[in-house]
Amino acid sequence: MKAEEFDTKFDNDEDITEFLDLSQARRPGYAKKRVNIDFPVWMIEALEQEAKRLGVTSDSIIKLWLAERLDKKVRTG
């Protein structure tokens, strides 16, 4: 497919994903870096209880809550 045809499909809001190689696609700023954090036992137990209630992992809750807090901080300055 020529670039002009691709551009036209994109401009017309057509689905162009079949023409893309997404195997190497990356989202800027979303690279992972492992960190270790020590939490008090009561906090771990509360996290695990909430995770069980929601049917997700404790890691997921921590990431979600941190993301929500950071997003709020960014929006409010």
Contact 15, 6 (CB under 8 A): no
Identity of the amino acid at 34: R
Residues 6+ apart with CB under 8 A from 67: none
| Strands in 1-77 per DSSP E | none
Contact 58, 48 (CB under 8 A): yes
Tens of pLDDT, residues 28-75: 888 889 999 999 999 999 999 999 999 999 999 999 999 999 998 888
pTM: 0.58
φ, ψ for residue 57, nearest 5 deg: -85, 160
Tokens of 8: 């036209």
